[in-house]
Amino acid sequence: MNPEKIRKDFPVFQNHPDLAYLDSAATSQKPEKVINAVEKFYRRQNSNIGRGLYDLANSATQIYSRSREKAAEFIGAKPEEVVFVRNTTEAENLLAYSYSFEGNIVLSKMAHHSEQLPWRRKSKKEDKDLKYIQTENGKLSLESAKEIIDQDTGLVAISHVSNVFGAENPVREIIKLAHENNAVVVLDAAQSAPHMNLDVKDLEADFMCFSGHKILGPSGTGILYGRKELMEGMEPYQIGGGMVNSVEKDKVDYSTTPDKFEAGTPNVAGAAGMKAAIEYLESIGMKQIKKHTEEISDKIWNTVDRQEGFENISPEGANIVSFKSEYAHPHDVAEVLNQYGVAVRAGQHCAQPQVREIDVNGTARASTHVYNTEKDVKKLEKGLEEVRNLFG
């Protein structure tokens, strides 16, 4: 693959040709194909889905259905197992509200707040014990998981890849351990879906979720996968139009999954854009994308490692590189890098418990995607040298 050629597919780099965008873990840039899909829907295909007997409505319904089919294919699922959501946050909240189970909840401190907080609230409201898998060298500790996941565990919610450390966690082993103890697993794939082949049958996840905006798709889109037999037994998260079979004076018959979890008018344009994003990723190849982002991330990690006064927080080989400076606060680091045309994230990355545990006041974070090049790494290096010159 040729990242320089790929950059030409992204209008943002036509408008900002010197931008070294290293913040894709927060949100990815959008290729022309995705923008065109959204624009085409609004210009030529706009209608509400379902029940319309005219051509435009039928077209919109087909677009929405085909988008679900493509999303399901992307993760090795069946279309009826895929619920469209606004983002990973909504998916986690939907599950925490709708899925009922006996037993305690196992989380990790490295989890994004959007993964932690819904389950913490559920534990408090339903008086469930809460346990945490410890972190070791930037990954979830399998030994810690073995110590706390037992027959009293009802649900385990873990991140496939940490948005702070960027390393792939031993999720297959933890999922196997959970299933041996009859617990279900919620897998947050927000940081793995942009770079990795995901197959829910291979992973054996019970639930999995990620956001469309991180896989080159539009904002306000996301996917929640759930095993059909589990989803069918869950209460709807929101109720209203489009998710019922019949409504009588004192009785409501809800639709089956996924419809019963998609009340109201859906984001059809967003679904069309997400389908286009998945097709774009597949046209390049997820294996090639993973290889490329790992290579660029390794170069970033080594660049930081060579700089006097800087320290990598992420382990070597991680796909997200968090680092700190002995000279300056992460916000100051990010501001200097901005002057060099380098965009990074700075702060605690919505993972305050984990950041506090490693005893830092925040990190600067560089994250990559298919459009990043070695030129971006060189710009980062010059920016880090300037941080040292200014504050060192």
DSSP code per residue over 361-392: S-EEEEE--TT--HHHHHHHHHHHHHHHHHH-
pLDDT value of residue 15:
97
Strand bridging mode 207-211 / 184-188: parallel
Residues lower than pLDDT 70 in the chain:
none
As given in the structure block, the two tokens for residue 141 are: 């500790």
Give the model's pLDDT for residue 352. 87
Which among 96, 105, 204, 113 has a CA at the least distance from the CA of 162?
Answer: 113
Burial pattern 205-216, b for ≥16 Cβ within 10 A else e, equals bbbbbbbbbbbb
pLDDT recorded at residue 66: 98
Closest CA to 134 of 169, 166, 102: 169
| Tokens read off for 246 | 């019949």
Rounded to 5 degrees, what are φ and ψ at 383?
-65, -40
Question: Half-sphere exposure of 1 toward its Cβ, with a 13 Å CA cutoff?
Answer: 22
Q: According to the model, what pLDDT value does residue 50 have? A: 87
- pLDDT in the model for residue 347: 87
- Among 323, 304, 310, 320, smallest CA distance to 362 is for 323
Amino acid, res. 22:
L
Contacts of 36 (CB under 8 A, 6+ apart): 276
Which among 350, 355, 370, 387 is annotated as catalytic?
350
The pLDDT, as a whole number, for residue 92 is 98
Domains of the chain in start order, with CATH, are 3-30+285-391 (3.90.1150.10), 34-282 (3.40.640.10)
d(CA 120, CA 113): 10
Q: What is residue 52's predicted lDDT score, i.e. its pLDDT? A: 85
358 vs 52, 308, 355, CA distance in Å? Answer: 55, 21, 5
pTM above 0.85, yes or no: yes
| Lookup result for tokens 């490295």 | 110
Burial class (CB in 10 A: 0-12, 13-18, 19+), 283: exposed
Six token digits for residue 384: 């880090």
The helix or strand, by DSSP H or E, that contains position 209, with its residue range, turns out to be strand 207-211
**Alpha-carbon dihedral 243, 245, 251, 257, rounded to 10 degrees:** -50
* Residue 350 is a catalytic residue: yes
